[in-house]
Chain A
Amino acid sequence: MLLSRVADALYWLSRYLERAEHTARLMDVRLDLGLDRRRAVDGWDFDRLFASLRVAPLAETPASPGTLIDALVFDPDNSDSVLRSVTAARENARQVREEISSDMWEQINALFLRLKQARSEGTWSSRPHYICRMVIEGVHLFEGVTDATMAHGEGWQYLQAGRYLERAGATAALLDLYFHGGSRLPPNHAEWVGLLRSCSALEAYCRCYTADIRPERVAEFLLLNSEFPRSVRFSASRVETALRAIAQYAGRGTGGRAERLAGRLHASLDYGQVDEILSEDPHDYFESIGRYCTQIHTAAYQTYITYPVETALPA
C-alpha cells in the first residue's frame, strides 16, 4: 500500500537525482575536453553543453569554468542547476521520510549540506572536477544505500521508474544532439569520446568494440546495447519492469496503458537496427523516444496518482 502522493515524491526524488548526476557528468566531461583544445578555434564549446542539457544557453556565454559552474551547479535561480535538482530531490525525500530508510535520508541530506557548504566556502572555482565528482559520487552512494537498505517493494519500484525514465530521455536527447546537429561544429573524434564519457560508457564501449570509435557504433552502443546501464534500451527495459511490478502492487491486471507504452518502446529497441535508424530520420527517431517517455509518465500518473476520485469510490 502506497499513498499516491508518496509514489509521486519517490518518483521525482529519483528523477531529480538522476538529473543532477547527468548535469554534473556532462559538465565534468565538457570542462575536461576544453582544457587541451585549441581555444581560438573551438574554445570550450559551452553551447554544446547547454544543448545537451536541454536548457537554453545563458544570455552571456560563460567565459571560464568558474562562471559555468556558478551558473549550472550553484545558481539557485536556475531551475536546471545541480543545487536546485538536489534541493528538489531532498524536499521530495523529506516528504516521504517515513517511507525511505534513515540511511537514505542521511545520504541525500549529506549531499545537500556538502553542496551548500562548498558553495559558501567558494573554493570550488579552482577545482571544478571535484565538485562534479562529489555530486556524482553522492548520487551513486544514494543509489547503493537505497538498494541495500530499502525493501525492493512498491516504493522502490517508483524510484526505479523515475530514474530510468529520466535516463532514457536524457541519453536519447544526447544522441539526438550528436547525430542531428545543434552545434556549430560537426563532432570530431574528441567529441565522440566526450559523448561516450558523458554516459560513463567509454570503457564499456572499448571492451565491446575496441578503441576504434565510430559514430554508428557509438549510436548502437548507447541506444541498443542491452547490458550497459545507461543505454536507452537498458533503461527502457527497467522502466517496463518497474511499471509491470507497480501494476501488480496496485492490484491491476497486466496491459495497462503505461505498461503497454513502455513495452512498445522496449520492444522497438530490442528489435531496432542501427543502420536503419541512422539512414532514415535519426532526429525523428530520437525525438520519438522522448515523446514515448512523456506519454509513459502521463499514463502512469493517470493510473496511479492523479486518477479521478469518482472512478475509485466503492459503488
Chain B
Amino acid sequence: MTSIGSRSRLPAAGTLFAGYDRGIGYDEMFGPDGRPRPHCVALVDELRAASSAELGLRQIEADKAFLTQGITFTVYGDEQGTERIFPFDLLPRIITAAEWRTLVAGLSQRLTAINLFLKDVYHDGRILAEGVVPRDLLLSCRHYRREMRGVRVHRDIYVSIAGSDLVRLEDGRFVVLEDNLRVPSGVSYMLANREVTKRVMPGLFDRYQVSPIAQYGQALLATLRALAPPHVTDPTLVVLTPGVGNSAYFEHAFLAREMGVALVEGRDLLVHDNVVYMRTTAGLRRVDVIYRRVDDDFLDPLAFRPDSFLGVAGLLNAYRAGSVSLANAIGTGIADDKALYAYLPAIIRFYLSEEPILANVETYLLANPSDRQFVLENLESLVVKAVGESGGYGMLVGPHSTARERDAFRAKILAEPRNFIAQPTLALSQSPCFIDDTIEPRHVDLRPYVLYGGDRVTVVPGGLTRVALKKGSLVVNSSQGGGSKDTWVLAE
C-alpha cells in the first residue's frame, strides 16, 4: 500500500490527470491537499496506469452497449422522434460505507415523515391547525388534490417510491436539494450504468468491495405487493406507462420486465363497477395494484384533465372505493412542491420529534415579502426555481445569467411570487470524468431511490449520479445536457 500511496501523491502527474483542476469546492476523488481520498487511492492508481486510447475504446464499447440495448430517451420537440443515449461517463463515483449509513438514516427519516404529513393534510390537518405549515401555502400547491380529502389510503402508504436529489457541499456534507415524490425516474439508468461499467471496466472492481444493486426489481416488487388491497392474497400488479412516445418508456418496460409484471397503457385498462380490469387474450382480468408512471393530471379523464388519452376513465373512483391501489398515491406532489420543501425540517420535527439527519438547502419563499425583497436585490448570486417545475426547466442560475434574463425573471416573480423560490448558488461537488480523451472535473449530484413498504424503508445501496457535462455547469438534468455515471457504495 505504501508504494501506491506514494505514487498517488502526485495525482496531476499522470497524463490523463494532466489538466485536472482540483478547484476549491469538494472533489469526490481528491482531498483539499490534492491527494486522493483514502477510498479512491486504488481507483486513481488504476487510472494512472491507463492510457487515453484505452479509455476511449471502452467509451465506444459502453456507448454501443447503450445503443443496442435501446437505452435511449426520445428528444421532445424533435419531429423525427430521434432517440439519443443518455451520455455515460466511464469513471465510477465512490461513496463510503459510513457516508452511506448517514444517507440511509436521513432518507428513511425523511420519507417516513413525508408519509405521515400526507396522511395528516388529507385527513385531520393537525399540522395546519397548529400553524407549522401555513394552510394557504398548502392549498395553493399546484399538486394539491381536493379529491383526496378523507380518502383512506391502504396502510397509509402515500409515497411508496421516492427519489431525492442530494448534493454535496464544500464541507463534504450531503444536503437534500429536492424530493421527487410523484413519479421519480432514472432508476433504470442506475442499474444499466452498473451493468455497463461491469462489462467495460471489469478490472476496476478487483480492488473494491462494491455493494450490489441488482436486487432493486425484487425490492420494488415487494414494495408494490405491500400495497395490495386487503383480502387479495395473490395480487395482480401492473406498470402503467403513457406509451412508447414517453421519454422514460425504456424505464417503464425495464421495470415491468425486472418485476415480471405486465406493462400496460391506459387503453389496456377499463373500470367497471369500480373495479379495474385489463384486456387480455383470455378476456378481462382484474388489476389490484398499479405502479403508475403517469402524472395525476392524466390519470383519469373523468376526474382530471378531460383531454387525456393516457389514463383510465373512472380510475379515481375505483381508487377511492379501495378496490385498487396506486403507487404513488394521488396528490403526493404537494410534498415535493419546492415552496413546501422549505418546511420539511419542521415537518420532520413535528411528526417524529427528531432533528433532521439530512439538512435542507436554505430556501427563500418569494411569497414572503422580506424574502422577496432580499432575493430581488441579489438575483445575480441566487438560483431561482419555479415551484411546480422539474427537469431543470423554469430556472434561473444567477451567476450564469445575463441582465436581460434576470429582468425577465424579476417580472415573472413579481407577477406570481407564490410560484417561485430562491436558493443560494451551491458549489456542487465535482467528480473526475473522462471527457475529450482526458480526465476533467465535472459537477455531480446524487439521486438515491427510496422505497417505503409501510413498515420499513429500503434504499438499494447505489443511486444515479448525474453529471453536468458542460464545463462549469451546475445543471445535471438529462434534458439540459447532463449525463450520468455508475455509483459505488462500498460494502461495510
Contact = CB atoms under 8 A, between A and B. Distances in A.
Given A3-B262, A3-B264, A309 B279 contact: yes
Interface in B253-280: 253-254, 256-257, 261-265, 267-268, 270, 272, 278-280
Contacts of B257: 97-98, 102
B68 A97 contact: no
B281 A154 contact: yes
Q: Which of A2, A4, A94, A109 has the most CB of B within 10 A?
A: A4
A192 to B, nearest CB: 41
Contact of A1 (B67, B239, B285): B285
Contacts, number: 82
**Cβ-closest 5 pairs across A and B:** A97-B253, A98-B256, A98-B257, A250-B282, A304-B281
Contacts of A313: 272, 284
Interface of B: 67-70, 239, 244, 249-250, 253-254, 256-257, 261-265, 267-268, 270, 272, 278-285
Nearest to A2: B281
Contacts of A312: 279, 283-284
Contact of B280 (A1, A105, A309): A1
Interface in A147-168: 154
- Overall SS of chain A's interface: helix
Contact of A309 (B253, B261, B262, B284): B284
Contacts of B256: 98
Nearest to B286: A314
Given A98-B257, A113-B67, A251-B282, 5 more contacts: A91-B244, A94-B244, A98-B262, A110-B68, A309-B270
Contact of A4 (B253, B272, B279): B279
Interface residues of A, number: 32
Nearest to B255: A98
Nearest to A310: B272
Contacts of B282: 1-2, 249-252
A307 B280 CA distance: 10
Contacts of A102: 69, 257
Contacts of A94: 70, 244, 249, 253
Nearest to B267: A5
Contacts of B272: 313-314
Given A91-B244, A154-B281, A1 B262 contact: yes
A246 B270 CA distance: 23
Interface in A68-112: 91, 94-95, 97-99, 102, 105-106, 109-110
Contact of B68 (A4, A113, A307): A113
